[in-house]
């Protein structure tokens, strides 16, 4: 099972997405902004679910995409199995574990959202820079 082409659970958990072309623009603004000193900032463009992303891509391409739904229990099981091996930090297994844990956090628990970021006391680029597109 891979996180790159799978959809966690039913694909309905929203998560924040940042276009890689905007990362530098956000960083440039954040590092000179006195409001961000010693603060964590969530930089993002959109909040979507996996299913919404697939719907957008299908609409743009005119083609139906295969959706490989991965049961949440299978993700938990994969995490437990890899953790049990106690992989070293420089191993492929450790990287795979990190991918599964991030996938679980982002796409199962819903930790990667502006709402959760605000709960943790983070700032967001949407509130700091409403002019940013």
DSSP 37-59: TT--EE--SEEE-HHHHHHHHHH
Domain boundaries of the chain, sorted by first residue: 6-127
Q: How far is CA 118 from the centre of its chain?
A: 16
CA–CA separation, 20 and 32 (whole Å): 20
Read off the pLDDT of residues 69-106 as tens digits, 9 standing for 90 and up: 999 999 999 999 999 999 999 999 999 999 999 999 99
Kindly state the tokens that stand for 11. Answer: 């694909």
- In Å, what is the CA distance from 114 to each residue of 38, 65, 129? 19, 28, 14
CA–CA separation, 102 and 99 (whole Å): 5
**pTM of this structure:** 0.82
Q: Domain 6-127 is of which CATH architecture?
A: Alpha-Beta Complex (3.90)
């Amino acid at each position: 099972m891979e996180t790159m082409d799978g959809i966690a659970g039913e694909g309905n958990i929203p998560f924040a997405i940042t276009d890689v072309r905007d990362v530098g623009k956000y960083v440039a603004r954040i590092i000179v902004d006195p409001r961000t000193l010693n603060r964590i900032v969530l930089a993002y463009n959109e909040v979507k679910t996996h299913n919404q992303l697939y719907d957008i891509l299908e609409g743009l391409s005119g083609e139906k995409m295969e959706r490989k739904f991965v049961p949440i229990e299978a993700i938990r099981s994969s995490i437990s199995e890899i953790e049990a091996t106690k992989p070293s930090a420089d191993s492929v297994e450790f990287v795979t574990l990190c991918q599964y844990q991030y996938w679980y956090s982002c796409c199962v628990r819903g930790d990667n959202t502006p709402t959760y970021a605000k709960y943790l006391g983070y700032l967001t680029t949407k509130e700091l820079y409403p002019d940013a597109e």
